[in-house]
Structure 1
Amino acid sequence: MTPFFLLLCTVILCTILYCFLFKKETNSTRPPPPGPRGWPILGNLPQLGTKPHQTLYNLSKIYGTLIYLQFGSVNVVLASSSNVASQFLKTHDANFSNRPPNSGAEHMAYNYQDMVFAPYGSRWRALRKMCNIHLFSAKALDDLRPIRQTEVMSMTQEVYLHGKKGAVVDVSQVINVYSLDALSRVLVGWKVFQEAKEAIELKAMVVELMQLAGVFNVGDFVKGLAWMDPQGVVRKMKKVHKRFDQFFDALMEARRTGKNKGEGRDLLSVLLNFQEDGADFEEGKLTDTNIKALMLNLFTAGTDTSSSTVEWALSELIRHPDILKQAQEELDSVVGRHHLVKEHDLANLPLFQAIIKEVFRLHPATPLSIPRVGENECEINGYRIPKNATLLVNLWAIGRDPTIWKDPMRFDPGRFFPAGPHAHADVKGNNFELIPFGGGRRICVGMRLGLRMVQIMTATLIHAFDWVLPDGQTHDKLDMEEAFGISLPRALPLAACPVPRLEPSAYEFA
């Protein structure tokens, strides 16, 4: 049998299955939401383009903020407004609490053994509870504050040395190295990399994983084509997973052999002690695979999303020097110019807080929510949402909804001022017009830590330094293109020259 004939038979079989499934799902008298017509077999997949969040946003202008799509044989519903998102993530949250099958969870996230893609149930709740107690509770965050502050001070010192030389700084690289150092001390008890080069290599692995996780893999939606891996995605996923698995094996071996004892307060110590004690975990004992899968979630999300948000914040402020100046004046007034800003200062900086909210509005860490799947049929806005439909929430589009945000494409922190139209909004999942961390029971578990890291790193970088673009580039010409993945970093890393602006004594610390 020739490869061409085999492919032809596969396409014919997929067509039959597609028609059968589509017919089966349209027996209800209530119509599905409106949406664009798709291609045979592939449905709407070819229409997504290289920046699906923008493509889907443009479709919402045509078909409305609740859209029905067909990705291969999979029914997909897209929410692009706060009203529709709240119905899915609040009213019908329990129904949409699970994840659909996908190759990323299978081949990179230890076959759903992690927390992000784990089925909603007792094991997921146990993992989340463990993280909340030891990492993300108010007490844990306060206990771990000295670690964050030390790494921020180290970052400031490095940038200061570059600034004194008049050198250009790769802002993305600096932020990543020190956010990784802070995170690794919290997760495993020591700085996993002693040289910046090694941290940069891990960052490259994280970026690759996040980009692969954001790919709409044809094999996930047209099962008859999965064996072909037509985009080469699964092959790349297995390769990057192997590198991460070796990395986590080495960390666990170093701890077990005593090569690195850590600082005694880290999550890895807690997990290994729990395992060694033989304590019962949900659905059995805690395995090495469980531990590595959880570490994968925390390392990737913690190093990619927070650092990208800080880089976007600094980019927006460089593009808007008047707002940057106002933020610096506020910091000088509250903190002074003789020492660096501290976490306890942040609550007293209303303009700065508004800036961070505006950055989250325009640059959510995940442009499209991690997909969910509906276990049962339901009704939204009079439309039938079929059983097993995959849900996508376009967070990027919600932040640009002109019915909610006046002049939505404009960077305007004033909208969040106490007297502004959105003074009540927060980013913690309570106001669905601003949900950069998602909403409902599967809201990002690391939200509180991520928010603190974004705030203290951004505040420090604009308090301690002025920023000048290199090679005579003007602020209005700064490239703001995005690179789509499961996260949304800048397409081009931000490069700028730091100019120290505080008293010299502010940069003096051990």
Structure 2
Amino acid sequence: MEDWLYYSVSITFCLAVSILLSSLRPVTGKPQLPPGPPLLSLIGPLLFLGRTNFGIERIICAARSRYGPVFTLHLLPSRPAIFVADHAVAHRALVQRGAAFADRPPANLPSRIFSSNQHNITSGAYGPLWRVFRRNLTGKVFQPSCLRRFAGARRRAVAGLVAGIARQMSGDGVVVVEGLLHRAMFHVLVSMCFGEGLATDAVVASVEALQREFLTAAISFQVFGVCPAVTKLVFRRRWKRMLSLRRRQEELFVPLIRTCRAQRGAAPGGSAAVDSYVDSLLSLRIPEDGGRSLTEYEMVSLCSEFLVAGADSTAAVVQWIMANLVAQPEVQARLRAEIHQVAGNCIQEEHLTRMPYLHAVVLEGLRRHPPGHFVLPHAAVPTATEDSGGATLEGFRVPRHASVNFTVAAMGLDEAVWPDARRFRPERFLPGGEGANVDLTGGKEIKMMPFGAGRRICPGMALALLHLEWFVASLVAEFEWRELCGKPVEFSEKQELSVVMRRRLRASVVRCTRRVKC
């Protein structure tokens, strides 16, 4: 009832603003916004109600056909949303002119609450603070030597995953892998975040339960991004739930942070080595505010970001990949043959670099099922050569703080670039395939950029690929995955914080006759 009350009031307001916008005459002599239908601002309330089945991507597809690869949708009356729906334009914006579009649009109220007022990487404004956060993450956590330090945590996570599958198999032989994947991923990420000594089963279970509640509810909280003075009253129960989630994050994470601090203080010389993400945050200094340390609540926001970004998207993509391997047993058989040939009877992480078909399977999974259908919104950064009020893109004006969005899922399904785009076909990423020249790190021939590019290319790309390859290889090496009799895999989607399977993968699983174990 409260959703429809808000919808009725806000739709009337947005329609009035839309009529006003459509009556305004453009100023001649200056670049204009990319073309688009101003009356579409009336759909904004629907989106911010968190109605995940609303067809925004169908609207974007129609706008792309009518207005070209760069267009504007007025999803909010106060701020235009510019969309880029072409890989070549995206390459020019994010790689060739990455510095011009490295900023983020202003955060809405829910984002400010969960990010400690944009004190994190995914929503922080481009500048000294953001650079400090990103440099710390890439240099002290995602560096290859640091990643190797947590190989033991990854092995234990896979062992727990395999044991969980075996327990489910002992019943009716049907395995639902989604929950097991999340638990395994949270085991690894909690170890990396707080240290392996604190990643007990109880702590991992508590973190997983809380963060997964956040993942499923985050979309519905976006209603508070529109007229918060009104929406906080109309959606009182939702507002209380959001504040409760944030409070419980602090109650869970702050004691873990304090334990890390105490361990560092008890070490010889009063300072321990950087053995976790929190260790690196404890020694970090903010360039603003006189070089102060981070507050505990800012560290809570950074830890939550680290855990959510690393666990949810990876678990979702692994499940999508396994669903395709179940639906295409010939692809699964070829992958298993490669694993057996390279790893023999003992699969190790160092074997992954010698498995080109595994790498192709993972890249095809990212192309076909990116965890987000849009890159995180960007915004223009004023430069010495651009107007201080924004930037230009393909001859159009991009106002300061307008959101610039990149339709990565649609780019991955572009038939002009990817023949038979909806088919899961890893061979396209092998030498000679149409994806052979794809460079996910910002090279000359980018056709797909699932996590961003330029100055904001995902610093966790190497970690994500490592986890995807390691978990997929382990699952395929240990088990054979088959469709349930008369129940083909369903590939419909559902929007949570990541794009996940609407119906969780259910498969008939048997042990491989040739098991790859150390």
TM-score (norm 1): 0.85
Q: Which runs of 5+ in 1 are unaligned?
A: none
**Distance change >3 Å, CA 454–CA 380, structure 1 → 2:** same
SS at match of 2:439: coil
Distance 1:174 1:449 in 2: 20
**Distance change >3 Å, CA 78–CA 166, structure 1 → 2:** same
2:42 is matched with 42
On the 8 A contact 1:414/1:420 being kept in 2, the answer is: yes
**Distance change >3 Å, CA 344–CA 18, structure 1 → 2:** farther
1:129 is matched with 135
1:70 is matched with 74
2:386 is matched with none
What aligned pairs does 1:323-472 form with structure 2 within 5 A after superposition?
323-336=331-344, 338-339=345-346, 341-375=347-381, 376-430=389-443, 431-470=445-484, 472=485
1:107 CA displacement: 1.9
1:104 is matched with 110
**Distance change >3 Å, CA 436–CA 16, structure 1 → 2:** closer
Amino acid at match of 1:271: L
SS at match of 1:489: strand
1:183 is matched with 189
On the 8 A contact 2:153/2:187 being kept in 1, the answer is: no
Distance 1:8 1:343 in 2: 56
1:145 CA displacement: 2.5
Amino acid at match of 1:331: I
Distance 1:399 1:245 in 2: 38
1:136 CA displacement: 0.6
On the 8 A contact 2:437/2:446 being kept in 1, the answer is: no
Distance 1:60 1:13 in 2: 23
1:150 partnered with 2:150: no
**Distance change >3 Å, CA 226–CA 119, structure 1 → 2:** farther
Distance 1:370 1:29 in 2: 28
What aligned pairs does 1:205-244 form with structure 2 within 5 A after superposition?
205-214=210-219, 217=222, 220=225, 228=233, 234-244=239-249
Distance 1:270 1:55 in 2: 44
On the 8 A contact 1:99/1:371 being kept in 2, the answer is: yes
1:479 is matched with 490
On the 8 A contact 1:96/1:374 being kept in 2, the answer is: yes
**Distance change >3 Å, CA 434–CA 17, structure 1 → 2:** closer
**Distance change >3 Å, CA 148–CA 448, structure 1 → 2:** same
1:285 partnered with 2:301: no
1:113 partnered with 2:123: no
2:385 is matched with none
2:89 is matched with 84
Amino acid at match of 1:32: L
On the 8 A contact 2:110/2:221 being kept in 1, the answer is: no
1:20 CA displacement: 7.3
2:384 is matched with none
Task: State the identity as a percent.
Answer: 22
On the 8 A contact 2:367/2:450 being kept in 1, the answer is: yes
On the 8 A contact 1:481/1:492 being kept in 2, the answer is: yes
1:169 CA displacement: 2.5
On the 8 A contact 1:98/1:373 being kept in 2, the answer is: yes
1:174 partnered with 2:180: yes
SS at match of 2:367: helix
On the 8 A contact 2:374/2:407 being kept in 1, the answer is: yes
Distance 1:37 1:386 in 2: 16
CA displacement 1:34-71 (0-9 Å, x = unmatched): 323425x6365548953534542354234332121102
1:297 CA displacement: 0.8
Which of 320, 341, 351 in structure 2 is aligned with 1:312?
320
Distance 2:186 2:249 in 1: 15
**Distance change >3 Å, CA 255–CA 421, structure 1 → 2:** closer
2:502 is matched with 491
SS at match of 1:136: coil
**Distance change >3 Å, CA 222–CA 162, structure 1 → 2:** closer
**Distance change >3 Å, CA 121–CA 167, structure 1 → 2:** same
1:411 CA displacement: 1.2
Paired residues in the alignment total 491
CA displacement 1:217-255 (0-9 Å, x = unmatched): 455356785565669765543232222222212312343
CA displacement 1:341-384 (0-9 Å, x = unmatched): 22211122122211111100011122111112224433333333
Distance 2:355 2:14 in 1: 61
Distance 2:226 2:380 in 1: 16
On the 8 A contact 1:357/1:427 being kept in 2, the answer is: no
Distance 2:10 2:147 in 1: 57
On the 8 A contact 1:187/1:268 being kept in 2, the answer is: yes
On the 8 A contact 1:368/1:394 being kept in 2, the answer is: yes
Distance 1:49 1:441 in 2: 33
On the 8 A contact 2:493/2:502 being kept in 1, the answer is: yes
Distance 2:25 2:35 in 1: 18
SS at match of 1:94: helix
1:325 CA displacement: 1.1
1:271 partnered with 2:271: no
**Distance change >3 Å, CA 49–CA 489, structure 1 → 2:** closer
CA displacement 1:96-137 (0-9 Å, x = unmatched): 222222223212222211221111111111111111122111
2:34 is matched with 33
**Distance change >3 Å, CA 68–CA 342, structure 1 → 2:** same
Amino acid at match of 1:265: D
Distance 1:32 1:216 in 2: 29
Amino acid at match of 1:301: A
Question: Which one is further off, 306-315 or 178-187?
Answer: 178-187
Distance 2:39 2:166 in 1: 54
On the 8 A contact 2:19/2:39 being kept in 1, the answer is: no
Aligned CA-pair RMSD: 3.5
1:200 CA displacement: 5.7
1:466 CA displacement: 0.3
Distance 1:462 1:421 in 2: 26
Amino acid at match of 2:377: P
**Distance change >3 Å, CA 484–CA 9, structure 1 → 2:** closer
Distance 1:411 1:246 in 2: 43
1:462 CA displacement: 0.9
On the 8 A contact 1:99/1:372 being kept in 2, the answer is: yes
SS at match of 1:84: helix
Which of 253, 260, 280 in structure 1 is aligned with 2:258?
253
CA displacement 1:194-220 (0-9 Å, x = unmatched): 448x75664454344345544694553
Distance 1:250 1:228 in 2: 33
Distance 1:141 1:12 in 2: 51
